[in-house]
Amino acid sequence: MRGRAAEWLLPLSVLVLFLAAWEYAAAQYWLRPIQFPPPSRLASSFVDLATRGFPQGITLWSHAGTTIGRILLGHALAVALAVPIGIVIGSYPLVERMTSTIVTFCRSVATLSLLPLAIVWFGTGETAKIFLIGYGCFWVMLPATIAAVKLVDPVLIRAARTMDATPGIIFRQVVLPASLPRLLSGARVALGVGFMVIVGAEMIGTIHGLGSLIMEARTFYRTDITMVGMFCIGGFGLLVMFVLARLEAWLVPWQARQEAQQK
């Protein structure tokens, strides 16, 4: 009896207690409102942001749409490039060994450090941001694809060969489906990286997008909007990840069952 109810009751009450304490502390001026706007203020700012927007006219949804649009585009491009290349690399051990050092290195280059370079090449518009997202996602998706192809269980391939399957059939009907789960989870991680990149990239030289929203808000001393923006970023991030996880479950239903069986 104690167990199940406590599971969610304790976290919930801790949270409520925390918010109440915060509200109280702000009301008593123990906390400076410019640094710690109370939850009530955050709630009203959220409504404000959702309806009237900040800067004037650009609502939360508009910002979110811009950001998510950028991510999806960059991500899609990265995946479209990384998967074919990754399949080739993963299928030929020699190529893999030759490229592994480069791949490792490029992955270590902090994506956002390329922002100045991107500006030089593409100017300060959308292209630079899409490029950055694409770069970040690409170097996550590529190793994931290589691993997905390499780690196909050899037993499956051997079984197919005992059934007289041609290399073409083995590739299309064994390797591809077998690597799909890892590809999808790689895509999910890549999306997370893309999200992190864009938030940073939007903090320089633009007023559209969630990253720029919270940066702009700070310069106007609207800490409340900054905080609301932060939580919204987290929220939208979760939403996108959730949708992708659902997609993954729909595309590869056998993976979940396999994992459950192995438990």
Partner 1 sequence: MRAAYPLERYAGFIGVAIFLGLWELAARFGWRNPAIMPAPSETIITTLTVVPLWTLAEHVVVSLWRVLAGFALGASAGIVLGIAAGWYRPVALICRPFIEILRPIPPLAWIPIAIVWFGLGEPSKIFVIFLGTFFPVFTSAARGMASIQPAILRAARTMDVDGVKLLAKVAIPAAMPDIATGLRIGFGLGFGVLVAAELIAAERGMGHMVMEARQLGHFGVSVFGVFLIGMINLLADRQLASAIQLTVGRWHRF
Contacting positions for partner 1 (CB under 8 A) = 6-7, 10-12, 14-15, 18, 34-35, 94, 97-102, 104-106, 108-117, 119-121, 195-196, 199-200, 203-204, 210-211, 214-215, 217-218, 223, 226-227, 229-231, 233-235, 237-238, 241
User: In the complex, what is the shortest distance from the CB of residue 215 to partner 1, in angstroms, rounded to a whole number?
Assistant: 5
- Smaller CB separation from partner 1, 115 or 174: 115
- Smaller CB separation from partner 1, 165 or 189: 189
DSSP state of 31: S
User: In the complex, what is the shortest distance from the CB of residue 17 to partner 1, in angstroms, rounded to a whole number?
Assistant: 10
- Smaller CB separation from partner 1, 23 or 180: 23
User: In the complex, what is the shortest distance from the CB of residue 55 to partner 1, in angstroms, rounded to a whole number?
Assistant: 15
User: In the complex, what is the shortest distance from the CB of residue 29 to partner 1, in angstroms, rounded to a whole number?
Assistant: 17
- Smaller CB separation from partner 1, 71 or 174: 71
- Smaller CB separation from partner 1, 63 or 174: 63
Count CB atoms within 10 A of the CB of residue 114. Answer: 18
User: In the complex, what is the shortest distance from the CB of residue 187 to partner 1, in angstroms, rounded to a whole number?
Assistant: 18
User: In the complex, what is the shortest distance from the CB of residue 52 to partner 1, in angstroms, rounded to a whole number?
Assistant: 20
Sort residue 153 into left (φ over 0), alpha (ψ -120 to 50) or beta: beta
User: What is d(CA 75, CA 81) in angstroms, rounded to the nearest whole number?
Assistant: 10
Count CB atoms within 10 A of the CB of residue 263. Answer: 4
Phi/psi at 166 (nearest 5 deg)? -75, 160
- Smaller CB separation from partner 1, 7 or 172: 7
* CB burial readout 19-50, b (16+ within 10 A) else e: eeebbeebeeeebeeeebbbeebbeebbebbe
Phi/psi at 3 (nearest 5 deg)? -55, -60
At residue 55, the 3 state secondary structure works out as: coil
